[in-house]
Amino acid sequence: MENQDARDLTQAVQQYLRQQAIRLREQGKPVTEIATYLGVHRNTIADWWWQYQQYGED
């Protein structure tokens, strides 16, 4: 599956993907595995995780 540019998604879809990514990271899944599963770039997952660690859920 080709990666989707998350910026092109609706805010609701972005929020859902962020929540899924955070849940999977908390379970110990690697960033690359989550990125493949959700269809977004690994850097996006890493950014979302960093923001979550710094600021919590938005």
pTM: 0.83
**In-domain check, residue 10:** yes
- pLDDT per residue over 17-57, tens digit each? 999 999 999 999 999 999 999 999 999 999 999 999 999 97
pLDDT of residue 45: 96
Question: In 1-58, which ranges are continuous DSSP H helix?
Answer: 11-26, 31-38, 42-55
Work out how many domains the chain is built from and give that number.
1
Residue 1 lies in a domain: no
Residue 13 belongs to a domain: yes
Burial status of residue 18 (CB atoms within 10 A of its CB: 0-12, 13-18, 19 or more) = buried
Burial 32-53, CB ≥16 within 10 A → b, else e: eebbeebebeeebbbebbeebe
Residue 3: per-residue pLDDT: 73
Give the domain range for residue 16: 6-55
